[in-house]
Amino acid sequence: MKHLLTTKELSREEAELILDVTEQMAEAVTGREVPKLPALRGRTVVNLFFEDSTRTRTSFETAAKRLSADVVNFAAKTSSVNKGESLRDTALTLQAMGADAVVIRHPAAGAPQRLTEWIEGAVLNAGDGTHAHPTQALLDAYTMKKRLGGVEGRTVAIVGDILHSRVARSNIWLLSKLGAHVRLVGPPTLLPKDIDDWPVEIGYDLDASLKGVDAVMMLRVQRERQNAAFFPTANEYARLYGLDERRLALMPDHAIVMHPGPMNRGMEIAAAVADSPRATITEQVTNGVWVRMAVLYLLLTNGESK
């Protein structure tokens, strides 16, 4: 594995290896007085973010530093990188600096793939447009593994703005590859047109779709990616597709509630649900660091030593 661009390209064996190494990372660091490992000492990891992101950038930075890597944060405004040539020039600069890995978030789908053509180091996709966000899907799978005992045979409902969600796309391909049954639930206006080719079941009624689920993943309504009105009002959306306490009671007792964050409390998820013991939202943040440590380690060392 040279790069991590999409979960669709990952084999099941590669995905399971990442999850296994994630477990090892969590065990190796947890409880240490200094929570660091020397695995990437002397390596340089560049965070190249063309979209605002505090959570994901900080998570990657923490992961790299816990592996003793040097971290360079390269923040760029979207307006200055509208042209592919600008991205290429940035890539050549990073190559000249000797970057061993570049973590990239970009508003254009396919930008991480283009980056692999211009630099020799590993490229990790931290989100490209509405296309993919592989480490989010991996940390979600790891969270299910820890809370539910595994992913194989589980039923996962992904609810909300599927159309604009790179998180949904990455989870669909990874979870189905790992043996889960995936349900997509949302208004027809927020479901992609090419959905017939995806390994999923489609539903429009949230109440009915929650019965028998092992996990429900609530997606943030991404107003910044919407160029048209996809639903009448926020209140109407919350009434039809928001997860409140009444709907939580429709789920099996063991079922968990997930959200990639940041949340619109009171819209796609009620505050009482987000703060309930069945919610894994803060665990997902913690697990994200372990997953990103595992991915960086595997890409930069070929799994040789820890």
Active-site residue numbers? 55-56, 83, 105, 133
Mean pLDDT of the chain: 92
Ligand-binding site membership of 62 (annotated): no
- The pLDDT score that the predictor gives to residue 85 is 56
- The pLDDT score that the predictor gives to residue 269 is 96
* Residue 267, amino acid: M
- The pLDDT score that the predictor gives to residue 274 is 97
Ligand-binding site membership of 24 (annotated): no
Length of the chain: 306
Locate all alpha helices (DSSP H) within 74-221, ordered by sequence: 84-97, 111-116, 134-148, 166-177, 206-209
Give CATH superfamily name and number for 12-131+285-301. Aspartate/ornithine carbamoyltransferase (3.40.50.1370)
- The pLDDT score that the predictor gives to residue 79 is 41
- The pLDDT score that the predictor gives to residue 74 is 85
Q: How many CA atoms lie within 13 A of 244 on its CB side?
A: 10
Ligand-binding site membership of 55 (annotated): yes
271 alpha-carbon distance from chain centroid: 22
pLDDT at 226 over 80: no
**Residue 303's pLDDT band (cuts 50, 70, 90):** low
- The pLDDT score that the predictor gives to residue 304 is 59
Ligand-binding site membership of 246 (annotated): no
How far, in Å, CA of 112 to CA of 124, rounded?
7
Locate all alpha helices (DSSP H) within the chain, ordered by sequence: 12-29, 55-66, 84-97, 111-116, 134-148, 166-177, 206-209, 234-241, 245-248, 271-274, 281-301
Higher pLDDT, 105 or 83: 105
> Do the strands 101-106 and 70-75 form a parallel or antiparallel pair, or are they unpaired?
unpaired
Rg, Å, the chain Cα set: 19
Do the domains 134-284 and 12-131+285-301 match in fold?
A: yes
Higher pLDDT, 232 or 121: 121
CATH topology of domain 134-284: Rossmann fold (3.40.50)
pLDDT at 81 over 60: no
pLDDT at 80 over 60: no
pLDDT at 106 over 70: yes
Structural contact between residues 213 and 183, judged by C-beta atoms closer than 8 angstroms: yes
Ligand-binding site membership of 262 (annotated): yes
pLDDT at 225 over 80: no
pLDDT at 305 over 60: no
Going across the sheet that includes 101-106, the strands are: 70-75, 44-49, 101-106, 122-128
- The pLDDT score that the predictor gives to residue 224 is 56
Q: How many CB atoms neighbour CB 253 within 10 A?
A: 6
Ligand-binding site membership of 95 (annotated): no
pLDDT at 105 over 80: yes
The residue behind tokens 């489609």 is 202
pLDDT digits (tens, 9 = 90+) for 209-219: 999 999 999 99
The ranges assigned to domains in the chain are 12-131+285-301, 134-284
Ligand-binding site membership of 105 (annotated): yes
Ligand-binding site membership of 261 (annotated): yes
pLDDT digits (tens, 9 = 90+) for 163-185: 999 999 999 999 999 999 999 99
**Residue 227's pLDDT band (cuts 50, 70, 90):** low
* Residue 258, amino acid: M
Structure tokens at 210: 């929650």
- The pLDDT score that the predictor gives to residue 37 is 96
- The pLDDT score that the predictor gives to residue 306 is 45
pLDDT at 44 over 70: yes
How far, in Å, CA of 80 to CA of 82, rounded?
6
- The pLDDT score that the predictor gives to residue 78 is 47
**Residue 32's pLDDT band (cuts 50, 70, 90):** confident
- The pLDDT score that the predictor gives to residue 234 is 80
